[in-house]
Amino acid sequence: MTLDLRDHFKIFRNADPARIHLAAHSHHYWPDAACAAHQHAVELAAQRADDKWDAIFGELVPRVQHGIADILNLRDPATIAFAPNTHEFIVRLISALPSDRPVGILTTDSEFHSLTRQLARLEEDGLARVERVPTEPLASFPARFAKAATGGHDLVFLSHVFFNSAATAGDLAALAAAVLRDDTLLVIDGYHGFMALPTDFAPLADRAFYLAGGYKYAMAGEGACFMHCPPVYAPRPRDTGWYAAFGALTGASDGRVAYGTDGSRFLGATFDPSGLYRLAAVFDWMDAIGLTVGAIHDHVLALQELFLKEIDSVAPLHQARLITPVAPETARGHFLTFETPQAQAIYRRLSAANIVTDVRANRIRFGFGCYHVADDIAAAAATIRRVLD
């Protein structure tokens, strides 16, 4: 059975009723509860002025930490740090690597620009040696990456769900077990997995970092990114903001810059808390109506199958290569990726008809969320047939 949450997304859905939004993987609609929380953040800032930070760190941050920990099955919410974007975390992680030689980094050819641009720049100056494992062919990726992970790298970084295909990396625990060096920083980019795929991170909580944010499936918009920071690993990143001193313990007695031992060691500096208010409201809203990540995932997979059935006769898409197969035994994210030389032209034609998708080179992506219903998919497919046939 699919969901019908239209009444919970009235602000975004009614803002442009004619818009057909098939880009939940890119910019997910916010539920009305998140919109109300945004206004609440303004009101609290006005009411409390300078004193607002007591409420932010004393009430808001713990609430969001607990919400994330519940979704990922983390036993200690204090391992979670916040930042306005994931690039801040990437830079801090890199700053924790050895500085006396070029560092060895293992990743894939399908990571998002926050990482790929930064690594390319480090390579230009000879500061990093980067090995990139191709994600395709998808079926053999886990084995190929696991084999490469035995190479003794300083940093291993890969996505749970790849942004350019919706394919998953496979068994994360098995991949982690393949990393032989105990001091290697292992990082999972969960941005396309968090609150899309049900994820139990407990088996990896003491070994791997996990970063994600609210812009996509967490339905909270910009500025609400987080990272789970396993104990012991990277205790003193060189890129460090003054907020990291709040729980400072490590180094306090020897004259060095002090750090906390929990996630606070990866904090930066002053930030806009409104994204965290929205994210907290999403968690509260889901709790209130009994909505789970599992239910959302099942709903989206059903919509994907319906969409493919509805557009089966649309030649430009039917003839394109669907990167990640839609099959019961195939784990996948919440969007469909079609590869075709016509991707840019298809995107422009759909955009002109007020159908929102997104395109990356020769791949066009269609994303679905819990704010969609079957009627939305049928209407979208009818318009797509009219525009593309």
Domain boundary among 264, 285, 306: 285
Per residue of the chain (389 residues), give pLDDT as tens.
689 999 999 999 999 999 999 999 999 999 999 999 999 999 999 999 999 999 999 999 999 999 999 999 999 999 999 999 999 999 999 999 999 999 999 999 999 999 999 999 999 999 999 999 999 999 999 999 999 999 999 999 999 999 999 999 999 999 999 999 999 999 999 999 999 999 999 999 999 999 999 999 999 999 999 999 999 999 999 999 999 998 776 656 678 999 999 999 999 999 999 999 999 999 999 999 999 999 999 999 999 999 999 999 999 999 999 999 898 878 999 999 999 999 999 999 999 999 999 999 999 999 999 999 999 999 999 999 999 98
**In a shared domain, residues 122 and 202:** yes
Q: Are residues 276 and 302 in the same domain?
A: no
* Structural domains counted in the chain: 2
Of the candidates 387, 296, 245, the one whose C-alpha atom is nearest the C-alpha of residue 5 is 296
Same domain, residue pair 327 and 251: no
Report the distance separating Cα 138 and Cα 143, nearest Å: 10
- Which domain does 218 fall in, by range? 35-285
* 12 and 122 share one domain: no
Whether 192 and 100 share a structural domain: yes
301 and 234 in a single domain? The answer is no
CATH at 347: 3.90.1150.10
Q: Where are the beta strands (DSSP E) in 25-100?
A: 80-83
CA separation, residue 351 to residues 52, 200, 259, 345, 370 (Å): 42, 37, 49, 10, 22
The DSSP code for 332 is B
Domain limit, last residue, from 252, 285, 318: 285
Among 258, 285, 312, identify where a domain stops.
285
Task: Tell me the CATH number at 72.
Answer: 3.40.640.10
